[in-house]
Structure 1
Amino acid sequence: MAALLCSLQDHRDDVNCLALSDRFLASCSGDKTVRVYSCEDFRELRFSPLRAHAYGVHCCCLSSCGRYLASCSTDARTILWSTGTGAAVAALEHPARAPVRVCAFSPDARSLLSGACDGTVAVWDVTSKTLQRCAKVSEGSVLACSFSPCGQMFVTGSSQGELHLWTLRMKTLHTQREAHDLGVNCCHFCPQMSIDGQAVKFRLASGGQDNRLRIWIISQHATAGYEMSLLYTLSAQSAPVLCCAFSFDGQLLVSGSVDKTVTVYDANQGELLHTLTQHDRYVTACAFSPCMLMFASGSMDKTVNIWRIGDGNAGASEPLKMSVQGRKSLGYSRTLVSDWSEEDVSEWLCDEGLEALVDAFRAHNIDGAELISLNTETLTTEFNIESVGLRGRVLRKIKDLRSSLMDSDVPDEFLCPITRELMKDPVIAADGFSYEREAMESWINTPNRSSPMTNLPLQTTLLTPNRGLKTAIQRWRSSH
């Protein structure tokens, strides 16, 4: 049985990727942020959200050593963050400044992959924060990558539909043509490997635009090299499969789809165990805990759901379920900030770990409208908050509230799909979608001229002004 433990609703745009370690849950979004939570109670850490990317964040991953979090973005950078402080340790710029779609740490946390829209993959040394090598691996966008559990090889998947197996020195070991019709969206190595006679065998899951989730066997022979064979084709989902992940013990496989479902399979038998339908939009991300039968799923509905797979110890997870769900059941989370009562503000303060300020805010009769108008001077002179760190923390939380209030009013069609910002000079591209001119011009100024929305090749780079949309945006701005 798969039980929903809690639902996190902090992102203001699509959740694009998730990462789970024994201590942290990380999520990234089109809202340009990475959020980090404690796995003890799924409360957001004090330094979260992380803000350094200029555009939406496509992928995030956590190192096995526990020291680093990596995130990559359309801004062509892969940023290394400290999980202890939230500080940006390094900003690794992809060669040719191509938008970066995926990133992955090696099992020993010494290497980091980044795959880009121009079909290249870069291998970075985590210790020195330097580029080790970069090579063209596909004619399409690199949309998926995963290290083998031994750390000596990795797989890439692309919009062209093929899977490639590589050494760390970028030597090709095997190519699986037409692994998925119309493109590979995700891939993940099973953490477990086996030895069968003279061969070492690995399992790899991949999901594609063809609505299929596949499990492959990759065999490494002492003399015959590598071969790849199909074990199962899983077709429980009726639309493209966007994400997949094995459990830590290799027994289960989870996937998310455009059909809004999360599916859980027996990875050994290829049998469907659960179909979960709690998400309202495309399920774009999933990740298993490395130490227990718990996983997270993320969606374009802006939520992250935490699930526990029943294993006979359901009672052990009950305290976690109560504490985290209690946080999200508060009334203020379902109300616009500007409409919050004084009691809602008090609940919000407690929920953010600012209980010490509740009495002061109540004494000044601070409701939602007053809360979002507070500034440094007011907090210092009227609330007597002398601690610079505490003032800064309160102001960052208030800034997030202001942003959420503003974003909730902007019609989605007025936002550029690339920057997720209100467009000033919208243009129509060959894929039929409208974008901010500057953002789209930067996007198509790469060797791989694919659509940001569909990943399919653009037939032309001609951009046509969308004057009707521009007028509608100007009218909306005037009225607001």
Structure 2
Amino acid sequence: MGTGEVMVKLEHPGRSPVRVCSLSPDTSFLLSGASNGTVAVWDFHCKKLRKSGVITEATVMACCFAPSGQMFVTGCTSGDIQVWDLDLKQLHAKKDAHDLGVTCCQFAPQYDVDGSSLQFRLASCGQDNQLKIWIVSQHVTTGCEMQLLHTLTGQSAPVLCCAFSSDGEMLVSGSVDKTVTLYNVSNGVLLHTLKQHESFVTACAFSPTLPWMATGSMDKTVSVWRIGDKDHSQAESSRKPQCLGTGNGLSGYSSRPVSDWTEVDVSAWLTEEGLEQLVTSFTANNIDGPELLRQTKDTLVSELGIDSVGLRSKVLRKVEALNAGLVGADAPDEFLCPITREVMKDPVMASDGYSYEREAIMTWISNKNRTSPMTNLPLPSTVITPNRSLKAAIARWTVNQ
């Protein structure tokens, strides 16, 4: 953590794409789940594989360790939630816990001891627009059981993420409907619905020490929220969280539109993108933000003297990405490819009824992903058809920008 140096590279068995991973509470073990239905348990300290195996025919989309660190749960696109010990022995299975698939699972930090059993609270969310709270009981004699405590329906689209507060009293979730919801865990009451984000909310977390919460979205922003003080009454502590700020995760110059960048900002951008050898040339030619966006292959050669084909191509790709970001920031959500989150140039409709950028969905399918990127359900067919009406609408919108 001090230097950012890569310590080790772990390859999931079978080299299947890893969809989710989780550390045990004491960081002794690392868990990874993959697209081919396998999980791997690693000894985190010695960086060695401890155990791996196939646990489902579906894609593993969620996993997390219990606070005890002696068992973990997994959720998959079939909708099942399974409980395992560290040797991949199944302790319990809840079939069809979420219709259409599980997207996230999280344990509350605390647990209760009741005689010879441990009781944990588990949150799960899924494509069925629901967030559920379970009681997972681990008995010495009778084994493991799961009991549904609350079904929370405060969001109108698939729920993508969830997290417990450090005291286990609140639960936050993010959804495709762009909202963040905050619940009281004990009674399942919806405390607040927050509408700060402009696209899918894909990540959420509570600070372990401060009364803060963070939410991340496909709109490329992270919002930080302050929650009511714990020491106040219940009514006071459940007051609407205050947004402390929203940023796009980029530092300094990057928090402003490219059209507002100065020559110094462009130099900083070149350095951050690994193009520091071009700083002198760009500075000598007074390239600011607007000039950067107007660069072409010809101007890079004739005006800036960049003769290397590879270097020119790298600059142009990065400038094109900046331009795409400018367009995509204000584009209607239906014009953005669900995979790339960029304005589509060649939209096609897949058999799941959603439209995607042709290259993106073809790459998705060619990588043997036979499920929909939007629903996680099996694709009835891999046939794609041009969406000409959407392409025309995007063209009209682009001309008016």
Q: TM-score, normalised by structure 1?
A: 0.61
**Alpha carbons of 1:423 and 1:242: their partners in 2 closer, same or farther (altered >3 Å)?**
closer
Q: Where does the alignment leave 5 or more consecutive residues of structure 2 unmatched? A: 233-241, 273-281, 296-313, 396-401
Aligned pair partner of 2:259 in 328, 338, 342: 338
Shift of 1:124: 2.3
2: CA distance between counterparts of 1:198 and 1:92? 37
Q: Is the CA contact (8 Å cut-off) linking 1:426 and 1:437 kept in structure 2?
A: no
Shift of 1:253: 0.9
Cα distance per residue 1:358-391 (max 9 Å; x no partner) = xxx99997743467899xxxxxxxxxxxxxxxxx
**Alpha carbons of 1:237 and 1:414: their partners in 2 closer, same or farther (altered >3 Å)?**
closer
Shift of 1:130: 3.4
Q: Is the CA contact (8 Å cut-off) linking 2:223 and 2:244 kept in structure 1?
A: no
Query: 1:231 aligned to 2:149?
Result: yes
How high is the sequence identity, in percent, across the aligned residues?
56
Q: Secondary structure at the residue paired with 1:90? A: coil
2: CA distance between counterparts of 1:426 and 1:269? 45
Q: Secondary structure at the residue paired with 2:362? A: helix
**Alpha carbons of 1:418 and 1:92: their partners in 2 closer, same or farther (altered >3 Å)?**
farther
Question: How many aligned positions are there?
Answer: 353
Aligned pair partner of 1:174 in 85, 88, 92: 92
Aligned pair partner of 1:311 in 212, 216, 229: 229
2: CA distance between counterparts of 1:324 and 1:298? 12
Query: 1:186 aligned to 2:104?
Result: yes
**Alpha carbons of 1:310 and 1:146: their partners in 2 closer, same or farther (altered >3 Å)?**
same
Q: Is the CA contact (8 Å cut-off) linking 1:101 and 1:115 kept in structure 2?
A: yes
Query: 1:97 aligned to 2:19?
Result: no
Amino acid in structure 1 at the alignment position of 2:362: M
Aligned pair partner of 1:250 in 137, 152, 168: 168
Q: Where does the alignment leave 5 or more consecutive residues of structure 1 unmatched? A: 1-82, 315-320, 353-360, 375-395, 475-480
Q: Is the CA contact (8 Å cut-off) linking 2:226 and 2:243 kept in structure 1?
A: no
**Alpha carbons of 1:322 and 1:309: their partners in 2 closer, same or farther (altered >3 Å)?**
closer
2: CA distance between counterparts of 1:89 and 1:331? 29
Aligned pair partner of 1:281 in 190, 194, 199: 199
Shift of 1:340: 3.5
Amino acid in structure 1 at the alignment position of 2:120: F
Name 1:440's counterpart in structure 2. Answer: 362
Name 1:430's counterpart in structure 2. Answer: 351
Name 2:183's counterpart in structure 1. Answer: 265
2: CA distance between counterparts of 1:275 and 1:414? 26
**Alpha carbons of 1:287 and 1:331: their partners in 2 closer, same or farther (altered >3 Å)?**
closer
- 1:463-478 to 2 correspondence within 5 Å? none
Shift of 1:404: 2.6
Amino acid in structure 2 at the alignment position of 1:204: L
Query: 1:216 aligned to 2:137?
Result: no
Aligned pair partner of 1:458 in 379, 389, 397: 379
2: CA distance between counterparts of 1:326 and 1:116? 31
Shift of 1:203: 0.6
Q: TM-score, normalised by structure 2?
A: 0.72
2: CA distance between counterparts of 1:130 and 1:407? 40
* More contact order relative to length (CA 8 Å, sep ≥ 6): 1
Amino acid in structure 2 at the alignment position of 1:128: C
Cα distance per residue 1:90-126 (max 9 Å; x no partner) = 3333333333221111112122122122222122232
Name 2:62's counterpart in structure 1. Answer: 144
1: CA distance between counterparts of 2:17 and 2:283? 47
Q: CA RMSD in A?
A: 4.4
2: CA distance between counterparts of 1:337 and 1:145? 39
2: CA distance between counterparts of 1:226 and 1:190? 17
**Alpha carbons of 1:331 and 1:245: their partners in 2 closer, same or farther (altered >3 Å)?**
closer
- 1:326-405 to 2 correspondence within 5 Å? 336-340=257-261, 345=265, 367-369=288-290, 403-405=321-323
**Alpha carbons of 1:400 and 1:90: their partners in 2 closer, same or farther (altered >3 Å)?**
farther
2: CA distance between counterparts of 1:145 and 1:238? 24
Q: Secondary structure at the residue paired with 2:370? A: coil
